[in-house]
């Protein structure tokens, strides 16, 4: 994860390409949510073990005793549907499930982090999830019908979901959620236990710089305990300086692909988009607009790669190195508008990278703005040309990718 503190960077907007700017966050693993947050805030849980090998899995199953749940640790919801959470009545079944899950991949990586969790005595499954809205409130949804079809329930039977809106800077107490939980049919101790867990999650949202806190399912046992079976937590990556230990969490490694990680370490924003036109922009908004224009002309961007405003030659060079390291490129488009950025610096970076990494993929360069003449002159010297217009350069890059000329 890149160092914070520079005042004008580009990381956020890279994420925004994936999820829209409204909610920018880094998911963490179920295990991390439980181990590093739920434990600290005393949210009731079942016993569990994180295991990284078959031996550890077997030991955990023996210690906890069947039945157990075998749960893949990946950065995604919907694990049940994917068959990555499996309830297992016997030790044998649990080991078989472990073997099956760890034989699979997710997001291009092998699954080798698994949680073994003690079996639960479930009377009812309920659901709680919360995010911030855009006006500084925490919006909490609670339903007595837990499970995975929550979006459908919200659409079809909205009255089955209680919604609470809490200003982010209010003090939080369980009473605030009691009536709403009551409306879903709970009373007395169970109601107050649920309200207390909701209040705790809301407090965590602020104190722990979270962007998402969800428990689905939260279960009510036959002895009326209320226990968190899952944890789905998104953290605010901009708040990492307040939680430096999170840099060491397993999820920090899993969140980025190797190319993304490489890019972030060099202060670049990188998102894999899956096409075949390598795209480099100076500035994130420009990057989005460039990607849109590539599609407008019928092409497909391979990535979103942004060096930000005022990039140095080294940054441009690194960006190109990251770009070509991924392979599969049919053309490269460099769209540099020189406002703060000096175009001679951009040109220097391009020339250096081309030489150093032997880049022979067709390259289209657009330079317009500050120190344009100097930049164009440098490129010319190195045998390259530059476009002035963004549209023209994009059109050309798309043609090249299609093998046209």
Partner 1 sequence: MAILLNKDTKVIVQGITGFQGLFHAKKMRDYGTQVVGGVTPGKGGTEIEGFKVWDSVAEAVEATGANATCIFVPAKFAKSAAYEAIDAGVELVVLITEGIPKIDTMSIVKRANKKGSTLIGPNCPGLITPGQAKIGIIPTNIVKPGKIGVVSRSGTLTYEVLEQLSNAGLGQSTCVGIGGDPYKQTNFVQVLKLFQEDPETEKIVMLGEIGGNAEELAAEFIKEHVTKPVVGYIAGKTAKPGKTMGHAGAIIQGGKGTADSKIKTLESVGVKTVNRISEIPDLLK
Site for partner 1 (CB under 8 A): which residue of 5, 244, 383, 403? 5
Q: Which of 43, 85, 115, 150 binds partner 1 (CB under 8 A)?
A: 150
User: 31-70: which residues touch partner 1 (CB under 8 A)?
Assistant: none
Q: Which of residues 120-139 bind partner 1 (CB under 8 A)?
A: 127, 129-136, 139
Rounded to a whole number of angstroms, the minimum distance from the CB of residue 17 to partner 1 is 5
Of 55 and 155, nearer to partner 1 (C-beta) is 155
List binders of partner 1 among 238-297 (CB under 8 A).
238-239, 241-242, 273, 281-286, 288-289, 291-296
Binder of partner 1 out of 12, 53, 90, 325 (CB under 8 A)? 12
Q: What is the 3-state secondary structure (H, E, C) of the chain?
A: CCCCCCCCCCHHHHHHHHHCCCCCCEECCHHHHHHHHHCCCCCCECCEEEECCHHHHHHHHHHHCCCEEEEECCCCCCCCCCCCEEEECCHHHHHHHHHHHHCCEECCEECCCEEEEECCCEEEEEEEEEEECCCCEEEEEEECCCCCCHHHHHHHCHHHEEEEEEECCCCCCCHHHHHHHHHCCCCHHHHHHHHHHHHHHHHHHHHCCEEEEEEEEEEEECCCCEEECCCEEEECHHHHHHCHHHHHCHHHHHHCCHHHHHHHHCCCEEEECCCCEEEEECCHHHHHHHHHHHHHCCCCECEEEECCCCCCHHHHHHHHHHHHHCCCCCEEEEEEEECCCCHHHHHHHHHHHHHHCCCCCCEEEEEEECCHHHHHHHHHHCCCCCECCHHHHHHHHHHHHCCCC
Is residue 176 close enough to count as binding partner 1 by CB under 8 A?
A: yes
18 sits near partner 1 (criterion: CB under 8 A) = yes
What residues from 316 to 375 belong to the interface with partner 1 (CB under 8 A)?
Answer: 337, 339-340, 368-370
22 binds partner 1 (CB under 8 A): yes
Decide: is 76 part of the binding site for partner 1 (CB under 8 A).
yes
Which CB atom, from 67 or from 174, has the smaller least distance to partner 1? 174
CB of 258 to partner 1, least distance (A): 19
Tell me: does residue 9 bind partner 1 (CB under 8 A). Answer: yes
151 counts as binding partner 1 under rule CB under 8 A: yes
| Choice from 96, 154, 250, 377 touching partner 1 (CB under 8 A) | 154
Site for partner 1 in 191-230 (CB under 8 A): 191-192, 206, 209, 211-212, 214, 216
Q: Does 187 bind partner 1 (CB under 8 A)?
A: yes
| Among 61, 144, 178, 401, contact with partner 1 (rule: CB under 8 A) | 178
């Amino acid at each position: 994860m890149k160092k914070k503190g520079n005042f004008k960077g580009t990381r956020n907007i890279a994420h925004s390409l994936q999820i829209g700017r409204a909610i920018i966050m880094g998911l963490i693993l179920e295990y991390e949510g439980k181990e590093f947050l739920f434990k600290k805030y005393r949210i009731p849980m079942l016993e569990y073990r994180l295991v990284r090998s078959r031996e550890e899995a077997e030991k955990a199953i023996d210690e906890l005793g069947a039945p157990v749940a075998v749960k893949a640790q990946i950065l995604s919801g919907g694990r049940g549907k994917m068959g990555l959470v499996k309830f297992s009545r016997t030790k044998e079944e649990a080991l078989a499930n472990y073997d099956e899950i760890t034989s699979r991949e997710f997001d291009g990586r092998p699954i080798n982090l698994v949680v073994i969790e003690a079996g639960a005595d479930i009377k009812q499954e309920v659901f709680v999830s919360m995010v911030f809205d855009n006006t500084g409130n925490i919006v909490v949804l609670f339903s007595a019908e837990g499970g995975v079809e929550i979006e459908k329930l919200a659409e079809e039977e909205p009255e089955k979901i209680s919604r609470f809106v809490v200003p982010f800077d209010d003090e939080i107490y369980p009473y605030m959620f009691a009536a709403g939980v009551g409306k879903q049919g709970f009373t007395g101790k169970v109601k107050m236990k649920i309200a207390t867990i909701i209040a705790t999650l809301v407090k965590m949202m602020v104190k722990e710089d979270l962007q998402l806190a969800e428990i689905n399912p939260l279960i009510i046992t036959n002895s009326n305990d209320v226990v968190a079976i899952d944890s789905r937590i998104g953290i605010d990556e901009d708040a990492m300086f307040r939680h430096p230990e999170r840099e060491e969490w397993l999820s920090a490694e899993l969140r980025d692909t190797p190319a993304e990680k490489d890019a972030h370490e060099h202060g670049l924003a990188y998102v894999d988009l899956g096409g075949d036109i390598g795209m480099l922009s100076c500035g994130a908004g420009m990057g989005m607009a460039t990607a849109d224009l590539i599609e407008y002309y019928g092409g497909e961007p391979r990535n979103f790669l942004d060096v930000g405003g005022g990039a140095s030659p080294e940054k441009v060079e690194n960006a190109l190195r990251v770009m070509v390291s991924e392979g599969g490129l049919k053309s490269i488009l460099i769209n540099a508008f020189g406002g703060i950025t000096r175009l001679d610096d951009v040109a220097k970076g391009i020339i250096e990278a081309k030489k150093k990494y032997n880049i022979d993929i067709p390259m289209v360069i657009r330079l317009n703005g500050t120190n344009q003449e100097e930049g164009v002159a440098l490129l010319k010297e190195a045998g390259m040309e530059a476009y002035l217009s963004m549209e023209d350069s994009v059109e050309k890059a798309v043609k090249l990718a299609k093998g046209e000329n």
